[in-house]
Structure 1
Amino acid sequence: MIQSIRRLLLISLPLLAACSATQVPSDPQSIADEVPAPQSAPAIEAIEPVEIEYGNFSREQLELALLSEFRGLRGDMPGAADGYYRLAMDTLDPGILRRAVEYASALGNARAMTTLAEQWLSLEPDTLDPHLILGFQYLEQGQFIRALPHYETVLELGGQVDFTALSARTFNLENRQRDVIIERLTGVLENHPGESSVYYALAQMHDQNGATELARQWLTRAREQFGDNPRTILIDAQIYQNAGEAGLAEALLIEGVEQYPEHRLMRYSLAQLLVQNEKLAEASVQFTELLRREPQDLETLYSLALINLELEQFTMAEAQLRDLLRAGHRRDEANYYLGYLLEQRGETEQALFHYQQIQQRSNAFLTAQRQIMRLFVELEQFEAASEWVTQQSADSGNLAPMFPALQVEALVNAGYEQQAAEALNKALNRYPDDVDLLFARVLLNERADQHSQVEEDLRRIIAINPEDARALNHLGYSLTVQTDRYQEALALIERAIDISPDDPAIIDSLGWVQYKLGYLEDALYNLQRAYAAFPDPEVAAHLGEVLWTMGQQAEALFIWQQGLETDPQSEHVLDAMQRLTGTEQSE
């Protein structure tokens, strides 16, 4: 749980920069992928409405314009956007196109914005706004080369562009792809040598290429021409961090916070790096200061709650999580971590309540359902568990069989195998062809040595899906260890390995049935492959037995010893050693 909290912090912290930057950083490992952009950077909402001339409109077009405007005034944004889009494509009027873009932007309809801007540009090629719109949309789509000509035109028309919006989106490209963009950006700089953000973007992209020295050279050129500022500090820290010098990056950001105490992104970046460096108490200080300066920043409150939870400052974390619930922010996450926190305090019923509040759309939903089932079983509230399963299954469509499967898992883990069998049979009466439930019953029946039922359910799974390698392998291995039907087992396992040729569990099964059939060389080859890929004690037991049978006793003892080092109580290894050597320990 604690490690998952830290991962959440590392993922969520860059998103916090959105509170003080124009764009949102996309790379969890980056300190300064995004920095505040000038207000004239591609901000669609900055388009000023213009007066529209309706004189050349037909009556139908005029009515649609008035109806669309009326819908907008009433708050029916989708209706207004649809009306203006149709009117814009029908009239190709620049004023209507501009208005349609405003509504498409408000709804975040990227496709409509792109189409409208292209039409607008065909009518007014020297207008700034459609170039800004298209440049931004192409950036969002990852079409960086298509974005650049529009941004160059914006510069030529006297506008401003923040090119770090480009470099913030190139971190996951291959170097050769990034090199093409670097070459084009260098050309932009030749025509516009005073564009500071081009220097910053080139520094960042060379850093993304792993070319640390080139990155530093571009940053130095930027400093020489434009002086030191928060942006150069952030990028410098990013370069240090990516070069593996987290301590220097941290020291630089500490100095940056002292020099620019009001710069919110600087403090966020320091807080993020402190989390990455596992200095959570120091990170907490920075987040507390951020929250003091901006008490309504709920994302900062969420991050601070997670840090306090990991620091086991449960009282403070609980208060912050409850504040998030009252504010309606991150309800599912707040309920999940409140459930976890209350469990740590032994307040099981309250923990159960908070887990039950988590909505199905949440990433925490599945984990919460597992916790709910576990707590019901721990409290021995078996009827309540069944009622919860029925309630959740009712409106869950294809997910419905998941709930009884989680119930069975919790019962088996707690040792209530009879109750698990009853729950499974009840669920399979309702979902007779659900392979996960069938496989759960296979595993339960194996524990009870009900091998005929195991075979029946596995054959049923294979009938439902003849390409289920897991079921084919499981049935083949079961026949190998429980019967002498080795040829039948071999055929099943060979079908499984045709489907999943690199699965070490299937390769182990193949080697073991080959050993049972007396194909010792084939068995040795496949068991060595399986053990190399998956050095599990059971595979070690099989490989050791084949080696022993082939007269390679020293090698067998060595493999068995390795298996016992992994699991000193391995029944498979100890059984093989007892049968073949008469002892349970190697010399």
Structure 2
Amino acid sequence: MPNRLLSFLLPFFCAVLLQSCASTDSAPPNAFLMEEEQIEPEAPVKPFPTETLYQLLVGEIAGVRNHAPMALRIYTEQALATRDPQITARAAGIAAYLQSLPELLQTSELWTELEPDNPQPRQLYALALTQKGLFLEAYPHAEFAFLQGFEEPILTLAAYSEKASTETHRQLLQRYQELQLKQPDNAISAIGKAILLNYLHRNEEALAEIKNVHRRHPQIEVAALMETQLLQQLEQPEAALKSLQRSVEQIPTSKKLRLQYARLLAKDDLPAAHKQLRILAEQFPNDVQLHFSLAIASQQLGMIEEARQAFTRLTGNPASSTDAHFELGNIAEEEGNLPLALTHYRQVRKGRNLITAASRASDIMAKSGQLDDALLHLRTLRLEQTVRSVLLYQVESELLMEYEQLDEAYTVLSHALNQHPENIPLLYTRSIVSERNNDFPRSEADLRAILNKDQNNATALNALGYTLTLHTDRYEEAHQLILRALELRPEDPAIIDSLGWVLYHLGFFEESIQQLQLAMSKLPDPEVAAHLGEVLWHVNRQEEAINVWQQILQNDPTNEIVLKTQRRLQGNMEND
């Protein structure tokens, strides 16, 4: 399954139904340039006190100068003080623009009180109550606005009520059914009803309702999308695909429909998905994300040159430059052109691929003998991207560990912990560095620091128990720590391996073998194989031990963990 393409298409549709149901901006791009008919009632006839006029002037100036929060505060205060409909409407509009729910609730409620027959404040108040999760309270206002021609709140209310209780859904459904009787031909109330049926898991009824809407109103995108979604939920993928295909043919210029169609196709038919993405890219030449998805699809289909050209074009757009350089680095690295890959990875200085690109760039530099340059690159990124500093410290310390510069790795992590003293991953990594540097007291101190912060941290419990087994004779203490870790993660093969190893040191050989065999069945790892082989060897089951080791060596004949154990035990036998 082409998961990489789906991962780029999914953000378009992770909430496509919700967005289609409620794709309304709460206010226009500038709350201070709204058309009068949008929110403003007739101008008041009563004069305002001088102080009120002064405050309103300050509020207007603040808005024009893009100090909208100050304008909101002033207008809200004056709305409450004057109870003037025009000022209250202005305050509500600014609150909607800023998506400031407390002020929106306050001002839209007041505006509704001042002008109960005006559908505009009812619409805003319904949306505010919906956003607050007060769905039943929102309904009367949404219905009032709906019957006056403002359909958005009634649909938004249904869509946003997903996490409401079953009883709330039942009550809302009853009200939507009653509303449908008042306007039986209205598609919006029918869609709202179908949404509520879906939330009540009455999907067959929801599908029948939405099919009826879709048949009568084929141009309504949300009906087409919801029909597809319901067919998928009813495990009818072929019918879902055919339904969406018909919808795309009926509305060939719909971005949402064709993009959802491409997403469904991508699961099993990447070439067909690629074709749909190409059509979309031609229809919407300025949509960067579409062109990026098309390039990903080209790359997955092996159309490398087409993908390379597309990503190269995308590097010229600030919105896609970083991700495009990362993908070009991927292509170059897969082709073995490491200098070119490095050039592209070094261009990734922010975004979701920053850490991966930094790790790959530093690895390429280090392997070419430029470890100092690799470290400098990571440190520069850390200064540029302070919010990602913890992860960049991790990458730097792991690089130093890989090149056995353990003292330097410890210093880097200590510096990181001075800045982030509560960070558990940094403490854990430093404990690993100390253990590898044969400094068990420091390793133990960091692991215990983790457990002081989180006594149920299974990773730290297991690590402490295992390192106690390796470096001390405190086997009973180690055993108890590992058992606590196993209670928290009973299926974790690493913890099961630790249990088997400490049981061996406690002299419970058969129990040890059982646990290590279980760990090996879950995770055929060299270290687990080395442990199991050693215990088997100790109880004179040498042939079984050799067979266990061979499971690793046949795929990795130079594995030093297994070979070192094998040489040590066979050497001991010869000496005996």
1:87 aligns with 2:86: no
**Shift of residue 270, structure 1, vs aligned partner:** 1.8
Distance 1:540 1:390 in 2: 38
Do the aligned partners of residues 428 and 106 (structure 1) sit closer, same or farther apart at CA in structure 2, a change above 3 Å counting? closer
Q: Which residue identity does 2:294 align to in structure 1?
A: L
Q: Equivalent residues in 2 for 1:149-298 (5 A)? A: 149-161=140-152, 163-169=154-160, 178-207=169-198, 210-222=201-213, 226=216, 228-231=218-221, 232-275=223-266, 277-298=267-288
Instruction: Verify the 8 A CA contact 1:377 1:411 in the aligned structure 2.
Output: no
- Secondary structure at the residue paired with 1:326? coil
Do the aligned partners of residues 411 and 209 (structure 1) sit closer, same or farther apart at CA in structure 2, a change above 3 Å counting? farther
More divergent stretch after superposition (58-67 vs 457-466):
457-466
1:473 aligns with 2:462: yes
1:458 aligns with 2:448: no
Distance 2:333 2:412 in 1: 29
**Shift of residue 392, structure 1, vs aligned partner:** 3.4
Q: Which residue identity does 2:275 align to in structure 1?
A: V
Q: Equivalent residues in 2 for 1:62-81 (5 A)? A: 62-81=53-72
Select the residue among 289, 292, 296 that pairs with 1:306.
Answer: 296
Distance 1:116 1:358 in 2: 45
Do the aligned partners of residues 367 and 557 (structure 1) sit closer, same or farther apart at CA in structure 2, a change above 3 Å counting? same
Distance 2:96 2:157 in 1: 20
Aligned counterpart, 2:43: 52
- Secondary structure at the residue paired with 1:244? coil
Distance 1:292 1:9 in 2: 18
Instruction: Verify the 8 A CA contact 1:34 1:165 in the aligned structure 2.
Output: no
Do the aligned partners of residues 348 and 107 (structure 1) sit closer, same or farther apart at CA in structure 2, a change above 3 Å counting? farther
- Secondary structure at the residue paired with 1:47? helix
Identity of aligned residues (%): 27
- Secondary structure at the residue paired with 1:384? helix
1:371 aligns with 2:360: yes
Q: Which residue identity does 1:301 align to in structure 2?
A: H
**Shift of residue 532, structure 1, vs aligned partner:** 8.6
Distance 1:372 1:183 in 2: 60
Distance 2:82 2:91 in 1: 12
- Secondary structure at the residue paired with 2:48? coil
TM-score (norm 1): 0.77
**Shift of residue 406, structure 1, vs aligned partner:** 0.6
**Shift of residue 26, structure 1, vs aligned partner:** 1.1
Aligned CA-pair RMSD: 4.5
Aligned counterpart, 2:415: 430
- Secondary structure at the residue paired with 1:329? coil
Select the residue among 498, 502, 509 that pairs with 2:498.
Answer: 509
Do the aligned partners of residues 42 and 122 (structure 1) sit closer, same or farther apart at CA in structure 2, a change above 3 Å counting? farther
Instruction: Verify the 8 A CA contact 2:400 2:406 in the aligned structure 1.
Output: no
Distance 1:253 1:112 in 2: 41
Do the aligned partners of residues 486 and 528 (structure 1) sit closer, same or farther apart at CA in structure 2, a change above 3 Å counting? same
Q: Equivalent residues in 2 for 1:436-451 (5 A)? A: 436=425, 439-440=428-429, 443=432, 451=438
Instruction: Verify the 8 A CA contact 2:126 2:142 in the aligned structure 1.
Output: yes
**Shift of residue 280, structure 1, vs aligned partner:** 2.9
Aligned counterpart, 1:10: 9
Distance 2:466 2:460 in 1: 10
1:116 aligns with 2:116: no
Distance 1:542 1:351 in 2: 40
Q: Which residue identity does 1:459 align to in structure 2?
A: A
Deviations 1:165-189 (CA, angstroms, capped at 9, x unpaired):
3454456678776555434432332
Select the residue among 315, 328, 331 that pairs with 2:318.
Answer: 328
Select the residue among 127, 142, 151 that pairs with 2:118.
Answer: 127
Aligned counterpart, 1:486: 475
Q: Which residue identity does 2:356 align to in structure 1?
A: T
**Shift of residue 59, structure 1, vs aligned partner:** 0.9
More divergent stretch after superposition (63-72 vs 94-103):
63-72
**Shift of residue 128, structure 1, vs aligned partner:** 0.8
Do the aligned partners of residues 177 and 59 (structure 1) sit closer, same or farther apart at CA in structure 2, a change above 3 Å counting? closer
Distance 1:422 1:550 in 2: 39
Do the aligned partners of residues 4 and 149 (structure 1) sit closer, same or farther apart at CA in structure 2, a change above 3 Å counting? same
Q: Which runs of 5 or more residues in structure 2 are unaligned?
A: 29-36
Distance 1:200 1:279 in 2: 31
1:388 aligns with 2:377: yes
Distance 2:41 2:236 in 1: 52
- Secondary structure at the residue paired with 2:253? coil
Do the aligned partners of residues 196 and 514 (structure 1) sit closer, same or farther apart at CA in structure 2, a change above 3 Å counting? same
**Shift of residue 119, structure 1, vs aligned partner:** 1.7
Q: Which residue identity does 2:330 align to in structure 1?
A: Y
Q: Which residue identity does 1:430 align to in structure 2?
A: H
Distance 1:392 1:263 in 2: 41
Distance 1:43 1:167 in 2: 17
Aligned counterpart, 2:32: none
Distance 1:572 1:174 in 2: 57
TM-score (norm 2): 0.78
Instruction: Verify the 8 A CA contact 1:253 1:270 in the aligned structure 2.
Output: yes
Deviations 1:233-260 (CA, angstroms, capped at 9, x unpaired):
4433333233333233222322322233
Do the aligned partners of residues 242 and 129 (structure 1) sit closer, same or farther apart at CA in structure 2, a change above 3 Å counting? same
**Shift of residue 543, structure 1, vs aligned partner:** 7.5
Do the aligned partners of residues 140 and 314 (structure 1) sit closer, same or farther apart at CA in structure 2, a change above 3 Å counting? farther
More divergent stretch after superposition (491-500 vs 311-320):
491-500
How many aligned residue pairs are there? 552
Distance 1:563 1:243 in 2: 49
Instruction: Verify the 8 A CA contact 1:13 1:272 in the aligned structure 2.
Output: no
